[in-house]
Amino acid sequence: MEEADMMEFKATIGGKPAPVGADFAVLNPATGKEVGRAPNMGGAELDAAVSVAKAAFASWSAQDDAALQAACAAVTAKIEEHAGELAEIITLEQGKPLNGLGSRWEVGGAVAWAGYTTGLSLPARVLQDNEQGRVELTRKPLGVVGSITPWNFPVMIAVWHILPALRTGNTVVVKPSPHTPLSTLRLVEIMNEVLPPGVVNVVTGDDRAFNLGAAMSAHPDISKIVFTGSCATGQRVMRSAADTMKRLTLELGGNDAGIVLPDADPAAIAEGLFWGAFINNGQTCAAMKRLYVHDTIHDAVCEALVAYARNIKVGDGMEEASILGPIQNRMQFDKVSRLVADAKERGKVLLGGESGEGLFFPPTIIAGLRNGDPLVDEEQFGPALPIIRYSDVEEAIRLANDSPNGLGGSVWSSDIAAAKKVAGRLACGSVWINKHGAIQPNAPFGGVKASGIGVEFAEEGLAEYTDIQVVFA
Among 233, 364, 413, 466, binds ligand NAD (CB under 6 A): 233
Q: Among candidates 71, 76, 250, which has minimal Cα distance to 167?
A: 71
| Chain center to CA of 421 | 28
389-418 residues near ligand NAD, rule: CB under 6 A: 407
Judged by CB, which is closer to ligand NAD: 53, or 237? Answer: 237
The stretch near ligand NAD (CB under 6 A) out of 43-51, 139-147, 230-238, 262-270 is 230-238
CB of 102 vs ligand NAD, minimal distance in Å: 16
Judged by CB, which is closer to ligand NAD: 347, or 444? Answer: 444
CB 318 within 8 A of CB 30: yes
Among 254, 382, 386, 437, binds ligand NAD (CB under 6 A): 254
Query: Can you tell me the distance from the alpha carbon of 357 to that of 76, in angstroms, rounded to the nearest whole number?
Result: 38
Handedness of CA 322, 323, 328, 332 (dihedral sign): negative
The stretch near ligand NAD (CB under 6 A) out of 89-97, 252-260, 315-323, 359-367 is 252-260
Strands 384-390 and 288-294: parallel
Among 12, 91, 149, 430, binds ligand NAD (CB under 6 A): 149
Judged by CB, which is closer to ligand NAD: 430, or 466? Answer: 430
Query: Can you tell me the distance from the alpha carbon of 312 to that of 188, in angstroms, rounded to the nearest whole number?
Result: 34
Rule CB under 6 A: is residue 147 a binding residue for ligand NAD?
A: no
**What is the pattern of x (binds ligand NAD, CB under 6 A) and - over residues 209-228?**
--x-xx--x----------x
CB 315 within 8 A of CB 270: no
Among 237, 277, 455, 463, binds ligand NAD (CB under 6 A): 237
CB of 214 vs ligand NAD, minimal distance in Å: 4
Query: Can you tell me the distance from the alpha carbon of 321 to that of 319, in angstroms, rounded to the nearest whole number?
Result: 5
Query: Can you tell me the distance from the alpha carbon of 401 to that of 163, in angstroms, rounded to the nearest whole number?
Result: 33
In the residue annotation, 379 being an active-site residue is answered as no
331-390 residues near ligand NAD, rule: CB under 6 A: 379, 381
Residue 472's DSSP bridge partners are 135
Q: Is 224 helix (H, G, I), strand (E, B) or coil?
A: strand
Q: Among candidates 288, 286, 280, 283, which has minimal Cα distance to 260?
A: 288
CB of 110 vs ligand NAD, minimal distance in Å: 14
Rule CB under 6 A: is residue 182 a binding residue for ligand NAD?
A: no
Judged by CB, which is closer to ligand NAD: 60, or 361? Answer: 361
CB of 209 vs ligand NAD, minimal distance in Å: 13
Q: Among candidates 285, 354, 360, which has minimal Cα distance to 324?
A: 360
Rule CB under 6 A: is residue 91 a binding residue for ligand NAD?
A: no
Rule CB under 6 A: is residue 207 a binding residue for ligand NAD?
A: yes
24-53 residues near ligand NAD, rule: CB under 6 A: none
> CA distances (Å), 30 to each of 45, 277, 324, 328, in order?
31, 21, 11, 8
Judged by CB, which is closer to ligand NAD: 237, or 259? Answer: 237
Rule CB under 6 A: is residue 292 a binding residue for ligand NAD?
A: no
Handedness of CA 419, 421, 425, 429 (dihedral sign): positive
**What is the pattern of x (binds ligand NAD, CB under 6 A) and - over residues 49-88?**
----------------------------------------
Residue 134's DSSP bridge partners are 129
Handedness of CA 165, 166, 171, 174 (dihedral sign): positive
> CA distances (Å), 364 to each of 181, 318, 384, in order?
29, 23, 5
The stretches of 17-153 forming alpha helices (DSSP H) are: 43-61, 65-81, 83-94, 103-119
The residue from 45, 106, 251, 456 that is catalytic is 251
Which residues are identified as catalytic? 251
**Residue ranges binding ligand NAD (CB under 6 A):** 148-152, 175, 177-178, 207, 211, 213-214, 217, 228-230, 233, 236-237, 251-254, 285, 379, 381, 407, 447, 452
